[in-house]
Structures are given as structure tokens and as C-alpha cells.
């Protein structure tokens, strides 16, 4: 069977996105979600969370190439809501 989209081979594969796990409570999550909702596709805040040692970490997917911008936004948000540790994970495409 012939390849369906041979011209697409000339494009580089997409960059990998990052996932952040941010320590915060549900109230802070609403503020963080609102801040990223106003940005143009920088990050997507999820309601997915994991608990580690009694602390709750919520997941934020960050668009390729936007990790520094997302971290800067979170740093600025610390003036308004309590944010704890931030763990950066790199995800597959």
C-alpha cells in the first residue's frame, strides 16, 4: 500500500510538551486556571492531581517552547495565591 501523505515527511516532528505538577489547593487552582485561560495557548490546567506526603499537586500541560513563560506566570501568581513546589516533567509527543 502506498504511503498516504509523503509530503508530510519533509516537516520536523513536533517538539515535546512539558507537564508541570504544581503544589496548590483547589482555590489556588481556580486562579491559576483563569490566568492560563487568558494566555494564548501557553498551558492547559487540568483537574488531575496526585498526592505526595499529604500535599496535593495539580497537573498543567505546557505547550512546546512555552515552559519558561509558564514558569514566569506561576512565579507572578505566587503574589496572589499560595503555590508550593513545582515539578517539571517532560512528556512524549
Domain that holds residue 59: 21-90
Beta partners for 87?
21
Could you tell me the CATH number of the domain that includes residue 40?
3.30.70
How confident is the prediction for the chain on average, in pLDDT?
A: 90
Cite the DSSP H helix spans in 1-93: 26-38, 67-77
Q: What pLDDT, on the 0 to 100 scale, is given for residue 90? A: 79
Range with lowest mean pLDDT among 3-12, 19-28, 36-45, 60-69: 3-12
- Are the beta carbons of 40 and 67 closer than 8 angstroms? no
pLDDT band at 91 (very low <50, low <70, confident <90, very high): low
Number of domains in the chain: 1
CB atoms within 10 A of CB 81: 16
Amino acid at each position: 500500500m502506498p504511503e498516504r501523505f509523503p509530503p508530510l515527511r519533509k516537516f520536523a516532528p513536533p517538539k515535546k510538551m512539558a507537564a508541570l505538577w504544581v503544589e496548590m489547593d483547589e482555590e489556588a487552582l481556580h486562579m491559576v486556571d483563569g490566568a492560563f485561560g487568558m494566555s494564548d495557548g501557553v498551558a492547559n490546567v487540568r483537574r488531575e492531581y496526585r498526592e505526595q506526603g499529604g500535599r496535593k499537586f495539580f497537573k498543567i500541560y505546557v505547550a512546546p517552547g512555552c515552559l519558561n513563560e509558564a514558569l514566569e506566570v506561576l512565579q507572578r501568581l505566587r503574589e496572589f495565591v499560595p503555590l508550593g513546589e513545582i515539578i517539571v516533567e517532560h512528556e512524549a509527543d
